[in-house]
Amino acid sequence: EVQLLESGGGLVQPGGSLTLSCAASGFTFSNYAMSWVRQTPGKGLEWVSTISGSAGSTYYADSVKGRFTVSRDNSKNTLYLQMNSLRAEDTAEYYCAKDPSYSGSYPTLDYWGQGTLVTVSS
Amino acid sequence: DIQMTQSPSSLSASVGDRVTITCRASQSITRFFNWYQQKPGKAPTLVIYATSNLQSGVPSRFSGSGSGTDFTLTISSLQPEDSATYYCQQSYSTPPTFGQGTKVEIK
């Protein structure tokens, strides 16, 4: 059974940093691309970033490019999202999601974690 | 970015009804298109991928069709457990984008 478990969310001040983690199990982690998607009541679902199975390719939404960094440790079956220079508009529920492909070039999200809440506020 | 527009934004139907949700892309996305279901307080789950392929474990009353810019999700006989918000998503180009959601309620 595929399981994805996010952690690391919380309250952070504007301009601060936070690192999210996603522990994966139930599949061969290194064979699949992984993505981060966030959700707010006002803006709905927003794709944030995708990383290929080998971590050779990464993709970012323009809204986070230069501030967020996606990475993965295939030896630990864990996906990360390093978030710097956080803004109020980054407040959202963040989900990690598995892609059925290795490359992630055409992101389809076949399994999702339960989400972790990030709140950016002073 | 490719804009995805769903209609209706919400609907109410009776158990056993046939329900159709539509999604229109702002440009052709061929068949790189998915549907997700989200129940309150839960993460989304994949229902249909590549326009018309049923994700494993999803009941056969769900079906998808379309190509180019216009797509539909059909629930052939609505069940109480289908009460949820449904989102479309294009995977044709980066950034992948989602529709605003359609909330399906049971009368």
Mean pLDDT of A101-122: 94
Nearest CA in chain A to B47: A110
Rounded to an integer, what distance in angstroms lies between the CA atom of residue A116 and that of residue B31? 31
Residue contact B44–A112, C-beta within 8 A: yes
Whether residue B87 and residue A113 make contact (CB cut-off 8 A), yes or no, is no
According to the model, what pLDDT value does residue A43 have?
76
Measured between beta carbons, the chain A residues lying within 8 angstroms of B97 are 47
Report residue A34's pLDDT band, with 50, 70 and 90 as the boundaries: very high
What pLDDT does residue A104 have?
87
pLDDT in tens, A38-56: 999 777 899 999 999 999 9
pLDDT of residue A84: 98
The percent of residues above 90 in pLDDT, for chain A, comes to: 92
Strand partners, A115: none
Residue A36: closest C-alpha in chain B: B96
Distance separating alpha carbons of residues B4 and B98, to the nearest angstrom:
6
Chain B residues in contact with A107 by the CB 8 A cut-off are 91, 94, 96
* Nearest beta carbon to residue B43 from set A61, A100, A112: A112
Q: B83 with B26: CB under 8 angstroms?
A: no
Each of the 107 residues of chain B gets a pLDDT tens digit; together they read: 999 999 999 999 999 999 999 999 999 999 999 999 999 999 999 999 999 999 999 999 999 999 999 999 999 999 999 999 999 999 999 999 999 999 999 99
CA A17 to CA A62: how far, in whole Å? 18
Cβ pair A113:B43 closer than 8 A: yes
